Structure formats: structure tokens, C-alpha cells
Structure 1
Amino acid sequence: MALAALLLFGTFGVLTLLGVPIAFAIGLSAAVSFLLFMGFDQSMFIVAQQMASGLDSFTLLAIPFFILAGNIMNRGGIALRLISFAKVLGGRLPGSLAHCNVLANMMFGSISGSAVAAAAAVGGVMAPLQKKEGYDPAFSAAVNIASSPTGLLIPPSTTFIVYSLITGGTSIAALFVAGYVPGILMGLGLMVVAGIIAKKRGYPVAPRSTWKEVLRVTADAILPLSLVLIVMGGIIFGIFTATEASAIAVVYTLFLALVWYREIGLKDVPAIILESAVTTAIVLLMIGASIGMSRVMAFGDIPFALSDALLGLSDNPIVILLAINIALLIVGTFMDMTPALLIFTPIFMPVVQDLGMDPVHFGVMMTLNLCIGICTPPVGSALFIGCSVGNTSIGSVIRPLLPFYAVLFVLLMLVTFVPEISLALPQLLLGYK
């Protein structure tokens, strides 16, 4: 068992350091580890079989549909309308454009389900506006980077769908609803920090909007925002499943972009579908390879061995949860969210189950933890995109990001040790127990 764990994670680490794409590194390390238990032909066959059977899931259909809906929104002019609405909401606060950036990321990220898409779409619009108003480009980029993952907590979120699959059927509806309060608290916490810094530096407050402008901008944003109500309302009231909701999201966003706003034409649709197919292929390949790795870990009892080791550290649940959070924060600095979720959920799930932690609570905690990871160097995807659209370097943005990291860490501790933050809403709306 110890040799299997060493071979599995050692091979994965070496391949990752050599620059092998993460999905291939996961699959190859799983195949190599199986050689400890059986022959070459059997090892290759089992890994391939696990990858194929693991992807044969109705639930996973939600991922390509939500990715497609997000891409349609990104190309359909919806980001601009949400940014205009965010300006109205945050217009009279100190550093109003920074607050607008956070609010727009919360709204667009929740609809698109992608931190990278939010950072690119919102940051690309906000960076020139903030520079024109005298904002420090590094500060503007830091606000955009730190707030872009809020949409991974505020549903609909493909991250929660993947987590549900890994854990063997944790309620997607409960996960979706559980993400609202932490996601909103995340956005509000970032706004507080941004407001304090903006006031200290004397960044301008936006001019007061007229009632006519407010009504026009609000009316323009109602239809995109109503998608969340349609998707979540249907899931909560049992009208359709999360997978069916994702298909409805595609039809609805296509109607908005093609018919209502007319920002794209039929000729643009094939390119959007192709872009979504490429993204889906990358995500599903990682999921399939990670399922093969999970099979190796289960075959060698690796999760339970690591669970025993963690539980042997201390009898205090606080110490164990702190250790898990620190491990995930470290993992998040060099691994993207999806593979980290796929690899480490099976490892830590037995530990938190022994502690009596609810799987929905753990899913929210783990997602929030890994959200911090995609904002941190050296491989944070949101960090790279945010610096790119903000025309600034990673080195210059790290220092402005530090106070935002601090508030995110405080929120992580609250979510970890106050279960009601995650569970109160599912219990109230869904009767979750």
C-alpha cells in the first residue's frame, strides 16, 4: 500500500514537473501504479475501462451544457449589460468601479460558471475604465482576480456537479443552494477590503445615475439574471434536474443572444459550439483520468490509510480540519481546481466522514479553498488571465492581492467551523438533513 501510494503520487509529481498535461499525468500515473498489482495488458485495460465507464453518467451532461451557455453569454453581449447593472449597484460607494468589478464577477461568474470567463470578460471591460479614472492597474487587476471565482460558489456551478459525481451522489440541489451564502459573503468581504483601500487612496465615486438610467440598465439586466431564477427555481421545486436545467440554460441564452439582443448571428453559433466542445473535452478527459486514479487509490486502500494517518495526528477535529485546509491551500497553488477536486476529494472524504462532517458542508469548504488556489501563483488560472487583461505583471499584483487573500482565508475558516453558513439555506429551502 505504501509503495502504491509512493509510486502513484511520485509518478504524478514527476510528470507534472516535466510539463506533461495534467490529464495525461493523472492517467499515466494510474496505469503505472496498477503494474504493482497486475500485468501490463490488464493495467492498461482497467484504466481505459474506468475512464470510459466513469464518463458514462447522465449527471455529467450538465457540464458541456453549462459551458456552452457560458460561452454564448460571453459572446452575446451579456457581460456588458451585467457590468452596467453592477455600476448602478455600486455607483455611490468609495472606489465605485472596484465594487462594480466585484459585483459584475459575482453575477457573470454565477451565470457562466467559470472564473476564467468572468476574469476575462469583466476585467477586459473594467481595466480601461479604472485606468482612465486613475486607479492603480495592479489594484484593479487584484480586485478582478480575487472576485472572479465567486461564481464557482454561487450556482449554477459545474464544480459542484463534479463533486457530486465523485462523492457518489451528494445532492446537487443542496450543493447549489449551499453555495449562495458563502459566495455572497465572499463578494461582500472583497468589497469591504476594496472600499477601505479605495477610500484611503482617494479613488473617485461615480456620478449619481438618473432614475431613467437606473430603470433602463435594470431592465436590460433582468433577462440575463432571470436565468439563475429559472435554473435554481426549477431545481429547488423539483421541476427538472440539474442536467435538464443546463439544457434549458442553453436554449434560454441562445434566445437572448440570437433573438432578443441580436449580438450574435447564426453564423457565429458553430464557432461557439466548437469552442465549448474543446473546453468540455479538456474537462471530461481530466475527469475520466482522475476516475482511473481513484480506482488505483481504492484498490490499494490509499484513502483509508491517509485517513488513519490524519486522524492519528490529533483527536481534535479543529486541528484535523486545519491540516486539511492547509494541504488544500498548498495543492491549490500548483494544481487547477478540477484535477485537485477529483484527486483529493476521495482522500479527504473518509477523514471528514469520521469527524461527522456533512458532505455538502465539506463540498462548499473544499470549493472555497480551491477558489483561493486559482488566484495564487504559480499556476492560478484566474491570476494569469486577470494580469493579462489588466496589462500588469504577476509580480506587481501579488502585494495588492495580500489583503484580499487575508479576507478569503478568514471566510474559509468561518465556512469550515460554522456549518450553518453552508447548511442553513438547504435546510430551510429543501428540508435537507
Structure 2
Amino acid sequence: MDIAVQAGLILLVGIVFLLIIGVPIAISVGVSSVLAMFTILEFDNGLLTSAQRMFTGINSFTLLAIPFFVLAGVIMNNGGIASKLINCAKILSGKMPGSLAHTNILANMLFGSISGSAVAAAAAVGSTMGEQQEKEGYKREFSAAVNIGSAPTGMLIPPSNIMIVFSLVSGGTSIAALFLAGYVPGLLWGLACILVALIIAKKRGYKSQIEISWKQKLLVILDAIPSLLLIVIVIGGIVGGVFTATEGSAIAVVYSLLLSFVYRSIKIRDLPSILLEATRTTSIVVFLIGVSTIMSWVMSFTNIPGLIADLLLSISDNMIIILLIMNIVLLIIGTFMDPTPAVLIFTPIFLPIALDLGMDPIHFGIMMVLNLSIGTITPPVGPVLFVGARVAKLPIENVIKPLAPFFLVTIVLLLLVTFVPAISLFIPKLFGVME
């Protein structure tokens, strides 16, 4: 058997087998990639090359943005910022029927974009809003579906760690352009969820919030402005060329920490546990990136991306059909795999095909992130679905039916983003960060 075929089989079969028996994705990818490497090179050279590949993969200044953004998110989770954003979202939701549901959606958009984590948004916002909605007579299943369906918006609205990962693995796609390209799809996702919640709220007779005075509204908004300024400072600085994404992530840490000290929600003695939590999350991501570079080397040697491209093109040479197949594959992968490893594994496979079809890498990146974000809320094992159901104290099967309308509108949004490039590319072109 040809060496390349042997290596490819060991890589693919090894990853699938290890995942099936419950081995973590990072270990599965790493072990399978190193074993495949040993079929290509002698043991000593294979071990040395694997180590060199890992070091090269994580030896990146841009990659420093991920641990800093993760740390900023952890600080904000512990710093009482979520409650201030929820109060601001209540003001923005106004007098619409089912206003608490709309508050949940808006709070997920705000908090998710600042923390960069859909799971963190579902947990932090859902735990607060779920109780309030239940007191107002909202069905718990509906509240859980609203929270789950809107939580991933923060993966698209910058700053987004998954976009930084895509930038690295795609060969240096502009992070500023990716960040700006995520705004419209992220906002459309949130608006689609609001539309679904509004229709259901009218049908069930859910009322709006109690009217409060303009003075109280102003005080709530003023209280939230320091938290919201974080987005303006970080994204504005990156897009304006004042600092890089990595420098912006460090600024986000300093700003969120100072803000938490001002709010007196974090004390010095809390810092070790915060740093430990951020380190745990970061170590998983960085290790994944490291082992994925070994996998990418093996995939290049075995020509797996080329074989998959030939397979897709043998099915059809129609761009619409190929993009639909890509989306279906990514939707399925996203149900059981975290977005980060999915981006690391499938970008080297699908991006060359997309480029051959004439697709802009920014457009492809947003399509991929949106697709994998939908996967986080898709049964049977979407991570946001699990967290949202647990926060609502409901079994997953009770949430799936009320979640269906939210899932449907996100699929429609995915098709629009896939086949209407302007949705993603309009703002980056407007700000001149891409041609």
C-alpha cells in the first residue's frame, strides 16, 4: 500500500475511532497525526518533525490575542458586567409583547460579543433571564429556546476568537476584515430571533415590561455605557489601525479588569481563580492549534484536500451545489465538534475548493463561522443546547420543539449569507479593509 494512503487512513480512521470511544478531540487529533507521521518518516525524524510543527503552529504573535480575549471574557463573567448589559437590553426592548424574551436576545448579543463565548452568554444571561421570564408567566421551554437560539450571535459579532483561529489557519486572512464582516450576519441572527419571539409572544399573550421613567432609563443606559465602550475601543482601534488585534485583546483585559475594580465586583483575591479559569480554556485552544499543524502537514503530504476537492467536483461543478454540500457537512460536524477544532480541521480542506470557485476568503470564513455557530444549538449534542437546557433545568428533548423556529430562521440566514456575498463583505469594503 502506498505510504500516502497508509498515512491518510491512519489519520482519518484514528481520529474517528478515538472520538467514538470518548477521547477528547485534541488528543484524538494529536495521537492520530503523530502516528500517521511515523508512517511517512522514521520514528526519530517523525517525532522531531511533529514537535517542530507544533511549535511553528503556536509561535504566532497573532495567536496571543486568543488568551487575552479569553481572559477578558472570564473577567467580565465574574465582574458583574452581564447584569448591567441585561438592564440596558431591557430598556432597548421597549414595549414589545414578550419584552423579556427580547431582552434575553439583546443581552446575549451584547454580552456574547464582549465575552466572545456563546456558552458563557447562554449561562450568564440565561440564568438571570430565565427566572424573570418564569415569574412573568413565560413557559420555561420557550425561555430556554430564546436563550439557546440567540446565544451564538456573539460568535459572529466581534471580537470573536473563532475568527482569529480562522485567520491563522487560512494563511493570514485579515482579522479586521473578518471582524467587520461578522456584524451584519450577527445582527441579522439577533433580529431573526426577535421576530420569532415577537410572533410567539403575540400568539400567547405575553405582555411588555412595566413602563419606567425616562430618568430611570437614562441612568440604566449610563451605567452600561462603560461596558459597551469596550467594544468601541477594541474594534475601533483594530479597524482604525491604531493597534493590532493582539494589542487590542490586551487592552480589553486591562479595561475589563479596571472596570470590574471600579464596580467592586472583583477583588484582588479573586484574580488567581480567574487566571486559572482563563488558562484552562486557553490551553485547550492552543494545544488544538498545535496538534492541528501536524495534521495539516500530514494532510498536505497525503493530498487529502485534493482528493476531497476531486470528489466534490465529481458530484457537480455547480458552485451552488458544492456550497450546499459544504454547508451540510459543516452543519453535521458542528453538532458534535466544537467550532475551534472544526475550523482547524476543515478550513484546509474546504477553503481551497471555495477559492477555486471564486469565493472571497472573508466570505467563506463568515459562512463557516455562521455554520458552526448553528451547530452549537443543534441536537443531539450542540454545546450551547446542553448548557441552555441545563441552566433552564430542563431535559434537552423538552427544548428541541420550541427551538425549531429559531433553528429554521438561522438556516435561512445561512443560505442568504452563503449565496449573497454582500451581506458579509459590504461593511469591510465600506471601511476600506478589503478591496
Provide TM-score, normalisation by structure 1: 0.98
Spell out, residue by residue over 1:2-28, the C-alpha distance to the aligned partner (whole angstroms, 9 max, x if none).
443332111101000111111000001
Contact 2:8 2:298 in 1 (8 A): no
Contact 2:70 2:282 in 1 (8 A): yes
Matched, 1:30 2:48: no
Contact 1:73 1:253 in 2 (8 A): yes
Q: Which secondary structure does the structure 2 equivalent of 1:46 belong to?
A: helix
Distance in 2 (alpha carbons) for counterparts of 1:307 and 1:275: 40
Matched, 1:238 2:233: no
Aligned mate of 1:66, from 59, 64, 69: 69
Aligned to 1:146: 149
Spell out, residue by residue over 1:24-75, the C-alpha distance to the aligned partner (whole angstroms, 9 max, x if none).
0000111122233222333333222211221010001000100111111111
Matched, 1:47 2:50: yes
Distance in 1 (alpha carbons) for counterparts of 2:245 and 2:386: 31
Aligned to 1:430: 432
Contact 1:179 1:364 in 2 (8 A): yes
Contact 2:239 2:433 in 1 (8 A): no
Aligned mate of 1:177, from 174, 177, 180: 180
Q: Which secondary structure does the structure 2 equivalent of 1:199 belong to?
A: helix
Distance in 2 (alpha carbons) for counterparts of 1:113 and 1:39: 42
One-letter amino acid of the structure 1 residue matched with residue 183 of structure 2: Y
Aligned mate of 2:323, from 317, 321, 324: 321
Q: Which secondary structure does the structure 1 equivalent of 2:336 belong to?
A: coil
Aligned mate of 1:120, from 123, 129, 136: 123
One-letter amino acid of the structure 1 residue matched with residue 300 of structure 2: A
Residues 329-408 of structure 1: matches in 2 within 5 Å? 329-408=331-410
One-letter amino acid of the structure 2 residue matched with residue 220 of structure 1: D
Distance in 2 (alpha carbons) for counterparts of 1:396 and 1:5: 41
One-letter amino acid of the structure 1 residue matched with residue 106 of structure 2: L
Aligned to 1:100: 103
One-letter amino acid of the structure 1 residue matched with residue 397 of structure 2: G
Contact 1:101 1:122 in 2 (8 A): yes
Q: Which secondary structure does the structure 1 equivalent of 2:40 belong to?
A: coil
Once the two structures are TM-superposed, the CA of residue 134 in structure 1 deviates from its matched residue by 1.1
Distance in 2 (alpha carbons) for counterparts of 1:200 and 1:3: 59
Matched, 1:17 2:26: no
Aligned to 2:292: 290
Spell out, residue by residue over 1:165-223, the C-alpha distance to the aligned partner (whole angstroms, 9 max, x if none).
00111000000000000000000001101111111111121112210111011001101
Once the two structures are TM-superposed, the CA of residue 431 in structure 1 deviates from its matched residue by 4.5
Contact 1:236 1:430 in 2 (8 A): no
Distance in 2 (alpha carbons) for counterparts of 1:431 and 1:172: 10
Distance in 1 (alpha carbons) for counterparts of 2:186 and 2:66: 20
Aligned to 1:273: 275
Once the two structures are TM-superposed, the CA of residue 270 in structure 1 deviates from its matched residue by 1.6
Matched, 1:221 2:224: yes
Aligned to 1:75: 78
The two structures, once aligned, show a CA RMSD in angstroms of: 1.1
Distance in 1 (alpha carbons) for counterparts of 2:155 and 2:353: 24
Contact 2:177 2:433 in 1 (8 A): no
One-letter amino acid of the structure 2 residue matched with residue 103 of structure 1: L
Aligned to 2:93: 90
Contact 1:148 1:382 in 2 (8 A): yes
Aligned to 2:314: 312
Once the two structures are TM-superposed, the CA of residue 109 in structure 1 deviates from its matched residue by 0.4
Provide TM-score, normalisation by structure 2: 0.97
Task: Please list every run of at least 4 consecutive aligned residues from structure 1 whose deviation after the TM superposition is greater than 6 angstroms.
Answer: none
Contact 2:126 2:147 in 1 (8 A): yes
One-letter amino acid of the structure 1 residue matched with residue 227 of structure 2: P
Contact 2:7 2:40 in 1 (8 A): no
Contact 2:176 2:433 in 1 (8 A): no
Contact 1:73 1:112 in 2 (8 A): yes
Q: Which secondary structure does the structure 1 equivalent of 2:131 belong to?
A: helix
Distance in 2 (alpha carbons) for counterparts of 1:62 and 1:21: 24
Paired residue total: 432
Aligned to 2:253: 250
Identical-residue share of aligned pairs (%): 59
Q: Which 5+ residue runs of structure 2 have no aligned equivalent?
A: none
Distance in 2 (alpha carbons) for counterparts of 1:315 and 1:168: 25
Q: Which secondary structure does the structure 2 equivalent of 1:264 belong to?
A: coil
Spell out, residue by residue over 1:302-339, the C-alpha distance to the aligned partner (whole angstroms, 9 max, x if none).
11221122122212100010010001001111111111
Distance in 1 (alpha carbons) for counterparts of 2:409 and 2:41: 49
Contact 1:88 1:209 in 2 (8 A): no
Contact 1:336 1:379 in 2 (8 A): no
Once the two structures are TM-superposed, the CA of residue 83 in structure 1 deviates from its matched residue by 0.2
Contact 1:311 1:351 in 2 (8 A): no
Q: Which secondary structure does the structure 1 equivalent of 2:431 belong to?
A: helix
Contact 2:85 2:107 in 1 (8 A): yes
Contact 2:101 2:197 in 1 (8 A): yes
